Chains A and B, each alone.
Chain A
């Protein structure tokens, strides 16, 4: 089944403790992206990747890192999490960065930073 898989789905942790949210897609998509969703602010893009080893900042990249060493994986790294990064995170992918295809979203990761 074609899908975008995020792990973990839920995480409660403390300020400053490094964490990684994994994202994997099995559709051979070139483009991948991370969003965070907050009440009243909607979905905002954190980072995106056009292809392997090509990543770029979205609208709210501060406090986050990403890597794209393989086509299928696009982990989101919080080196020193802070409470303002408590949010619902989504990974998404699409076939190519160009043209008209929909983005496919993972089920989300709910992160709570205490």
Chain B
């Protein structure tokens, strides 16, 4: 157990819908990163937050957005869902920017 939690574990929804994925970092970690892992694919960096501020964006679609709250948990919002958005979504946290990232268990999103 890395200490990073993600909810829900599984999510099944229809095309066109909107969902919110939640991530709670390890106690004391200020950085949260979001990644997408499609079936049999590698990890794609989506976005990075540090202490409530957005630090960097990767290959994140405009339909996706995220935020980090004062208690440091983070939410990834996915809207106008398409079949191709079906994937595993991981968040990871670290004390300092990037060093020693700890991944959460992931949320498996299925869009039907």
Is this pair of chains taken from one and the same complex? no
